[in-house]
Amino acid sequence: GLELSHCVGTNSLGPAGPWRAGGPCKMKRVRTVFKPEQLERLEQEFLKQQYMVGTERVDLAATLHLTETQVKVWFQNRRIKWRKQSMEQKAAKLSQFGVIQPASADSTDSKDHEEDTVDVEL
């Protein structure tokens, strides 16, 4: 899952990043496809704790034959999904009681958690 595809575009606009070559050839990371068994185990661990760090993350990555970065990014993205689902459930409950939630609530909540919006693997 950490392979890079070659020459996505012909120019390299913007700052060079770890997922892109410094020359005229733009590199793009190939998306990691998790096996069903890996996803099941990741979901089990997420139900226990939303944050996995240190040796726990290293051990889980080794057990699932993934890199530590893949596990870290999966947890980051899963927390974002969890927060979004929580907000939707809260909005649904409020609408049942006739309370209308302001539209700006989603944008302010997502700004508070920008560190979790990383979807790039190194």
pLDDT class for 10, splitting at 50, 70, 90?
very low
Tell me if 40 sits within 8 A of 92, measured CB to CB.
no
HSE-up (13 A, CA, CB side) for residue 1: 17
Helix residue spans in the chain (DSSP H): 36-48, 54-64, 68-96, 105-112
For domain 38-94, give the CATH number: 1.10.10.60
Could you read off the pLDDT of 12-34 as tens digits, one per residue? 444 444 555 555 677 887 889 99
Residue 110 has pLDDT above 50, yes or no: no
Higher pLDDT residue, 100 or 44?
A: 44
Could you read off the pLDDT of 65-94 as tens digits, one per residue? 999 999 999 999 999 999 999 999 999 888
Q: Which residues of 91-103 are buried (b: 16+ CB within 10 A; e: fewer)?
A: eeeeeeeeeeeee
| pLDDT the model gives residue 33 | 93
| pLDDT the model gives residue 39 | 97
Cα 79 to Cα 85: distance, rounded to the nearest angstrom: 10
Residue 115 has pLDDT above 60, yes or no: no
Cα 72 to Cα 68: distance, rounded to the nearest angstrom: 6
Could you read off the pLDDT of 35-51 as tens digits, one per residue? 999 999 999 999 999 99
Tell me if 83 sits within 8 A of 109, measured CB to CB.
yes
Angle at CA of residue 24, ends 19 and 27, nearest 5°: 25
